[in-house]
């Protein structure tokens, strides 16, 4: 096999057949065999101690004034593991990746049960209020290096905001395609504010995706979906941040919502990246969460669990089938045929993990519980928390386990769902008198 060396040893490798090709020349990002590509770097096998020392020093400097993206960005802090061949001057960044990692609040801890050492990874605290920023900075940086002029994505909302924002500062034209009537007003507004053209299709996301990719094959437009593996490289920083937070150790489990699959794909890949540079500690079991309305991966995995079996990747792939999606408040993960499903299968099985689904009542209850702890999370994150509770009750998450839950977006982007469930609790006064107001306030204490 000819070695690809046009980007400091970084290249693409098919996850199915092993074929390698150029990162800078490939634009379809899917092998002829049907497999998706991984980005592969030349990593030093025994560099863990050295690199983690470098990363810690950068983290300590992150609160100082700097124009160095390796200091200001919580993604590019880990540049040597994410895109080592890219020159610092070519990085397109909005200061992403500096989100808080916080312990479960009192109400959430009680609701989940299991006396867990639980942590929320609040990735909605960022430039466009979702975890997509962490992948977007890498994707757009590489796209700019390759000379891309027009870029965009089919989206359920979060990807469109990300690609619009990063394309705007990279000087690219952006066009996003969204399913009409199936996303929130905020998610339409964000790409518009950043100067993107928004096209609404009278179809669900899966049709938007198929049509967009058909046009992308002609070379007219580049895409920013998770099919583009450069985005996965940036998303790996989630695991690097978690490991760094715990003194370069990983938790017992990482729970995350699954839509198109970029989240789980990157979490698993990051764990293997750490092992490749010499990390010797435990790896986290991955727990993927979907809503009952859009759960093709969870449904196929549970077929084996119900039979008290654990599948191989091949067995799970044979069982997997796309599904027609139903209605759910978790609109950003309302996807019946995830682009990166093959990568999700690989990472779940590699980590000895699992998949499960949550019903609407439970995922929205999780959102409300977090609200009582001062955290406004999105419905997708509510799905992850509801699945964690379910898994604790099933006994597959042991009492006392350290668990990180990836909260993928800020709840403010999904106000409609929260308003619908909570508006009935609003009290309307019969008049504007002090006496009426005082009487209503006193009732709060009874």
Render pLDDT for 393-409 as a digit per residue (tens, 0 to 9).
Answer: 999 999 999 999 999 99
Residue 88: DSSP 8-state:
G
- Residue pair 385/370 in contact (Cβ under 8 Å)? The answer is yes
Say what angle helices 262-276 and 132-145 make with each other, to 10 degrees.
Answer: 80
The pLDDT confidence band at residue 3, using thresholds 50, 70 and 90, is low
DSSP state of 2: P
- Cβ–Cβ < 8 Å for 375, 118: no
pLDDT tier at 186, thresholds 50, 70, 90: confident
pLDDT band at 5 (very low <50, low <70, confident <90, very high): low
- Can you give the pLDDT at residue 6? 61
Instruction: Give the mean pLDDT of 236-249.
Output: 98
Mean pLDDT calculated for residue range 260-286: 96
Q: Average pLDDT in the 277-298 region?
A: 98
Pairwise CA distance, residues 173 & 434, whole Å: 56
Res. 4 pLDDT band, cuts 50 70 90: low
Percent of the residues in the chain that have a pLDDT greater than 90, as a whole number: 89
**Taking CA 389 as the corner, what is the angle to CA 397 and CA 360, rounded to the nearest 5 degrees?**
145
Which residue segments constitute the domains of the chain, with CATH numbers given? 10-41 (no CATH), 101-128+228-421 (3.40.50.1100), 131-223 (3.40.50.1100)
Average of per-residue pLDDT across 28-48: 94
Residue 157 is predicted with a pLDDT of 82
Q: How far apart are CA 24 and CA 74, in angstroms?
A: 24
- The mean predicted confidence, pLDDT, of the chain is 95
Please answer whether residues 221 and 215 qualify as being in contact, where contact means their C-beta atoms are separated by less than 8 angstroms: yes
Instruction: Tell me what pLDDT residue 369 has.
Output: 97
Whole-number Cα distances in Å, 314 to 33, 322, 345, 346: 15, 16, 9, 9
d(CA 36, CA 23): 13
pLDDT of amino acid 1 = 45
53 pLDDT more than 60:
yes
Would you list the DSSP string of 146-212? TT--EEEEE-SSHHHHHHHHHHHHHT-EEEEEEETTSS-HHHHHHHHHTT-EEEEESS-HHHHHHHH
As a whole number, mean pLDDT of residues 193-208 equals 94
Inform me whether the pLDDT recorded for 126 exceeds 80. Answer: yes
| Average pLDDT for 203-214 | 92
- Helix (H) or strand (E) segment spanning residue 216: helix 205-216
- Determine the pLDDT at residue 215: 94
Q: What is the pLDDT of residues 353-374, one digit of tens each?
A: 999 999 999 999 999 999 999 9
**Residue that has been written with the tokens 């009542």 in this structure:** 361
Residues 135-145: what's their mean pLDDT? Answer: 97
């Amino acid at each position: 096999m000819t070695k690809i060396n046009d980007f400091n040893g970084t290249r693409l490798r098919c996850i199915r057949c092993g074929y390698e090709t150029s990162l800078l020349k490939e634009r379809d990002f899917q092998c002829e065999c049907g497999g998706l590509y991984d980005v592969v770097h030349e990593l030093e096998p025994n560099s863990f101690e050295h690199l983690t020392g470098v990363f810690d020093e950068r983290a300590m400097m992150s609160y100082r004034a700097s124009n160095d993206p390796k200091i200001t960005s919580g993604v590019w802090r880990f540049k040597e593991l994410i895109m080592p061949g890219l020159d610092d001057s070519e990085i397109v960044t909005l200061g992403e990746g500096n989100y808080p990692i916080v312990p479960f609040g009192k109400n959430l801890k009680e609701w989940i049960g299991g006396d867990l050492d639980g942590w929320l990874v609040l990735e909605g605290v960022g430039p466009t209020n979702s975890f997509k920023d962490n992948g977007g900075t890498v994707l757009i940086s590489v796209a700019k290096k390759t000379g891309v002029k027009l870029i965009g994505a089919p989206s359920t909302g979060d990807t469109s905001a990300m690609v619009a924002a990063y394309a705007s500062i990279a000087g690219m034209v952006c066009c996003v395609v969204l399913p009409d009537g199936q996303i929130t007003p905020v998610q339409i507004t964000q790409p518009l504010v950043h100067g993107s053209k928004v096209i609404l299709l009278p179809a669900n996301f899966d049709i938007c995706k198929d049509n967009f990719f058909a046009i992308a094959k002609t070379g007219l437009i580049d895409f920013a979906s998770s099919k583009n593996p450069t985005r996965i490289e940036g998303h790996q920083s989630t695991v690097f941040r978690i490991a760094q937070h715990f003194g370069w150790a990983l938790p017992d489990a990482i729970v995350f919502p699954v839509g198109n699959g970029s989240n789980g794909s990157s979490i698993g890949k990051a764990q293997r990246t750490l092992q490749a540079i010499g990390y010797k500690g435990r790896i986290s079991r991955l727990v993927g969460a979907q809503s009952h309305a859009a759960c093709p991966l969870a449904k196929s995995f549970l077929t084996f669990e119900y039979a008290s079996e654990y599948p191989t990747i091949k067995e799970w792939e044979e069982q997997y089938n796309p599904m027609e999606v139903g209605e759910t408040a978790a609109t950003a993960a309302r996807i019946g045929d995830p682009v990166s499903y093959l990568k999700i299968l690989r990472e779940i099985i590699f980590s000895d993990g699992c998949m499960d689904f949550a019903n609407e009542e439970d995922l929205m209850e999780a959102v409300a519980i977090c609200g009582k702890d001062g955290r406004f999370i999105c419905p997708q994150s509510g799905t992850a928390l509801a699945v964690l509770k379910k898994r604790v009750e099933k006994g597959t998450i042991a009492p006392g386990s350290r668990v990180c839950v990836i909260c993928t977006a800020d709840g403010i982007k999904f106000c409609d769902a929260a308003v619908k469930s909570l508006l009935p609790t609003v009290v309307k006064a019969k008049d504007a008198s002090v006496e009426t107001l005082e009487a209503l306030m006193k009732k709060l204490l009874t």
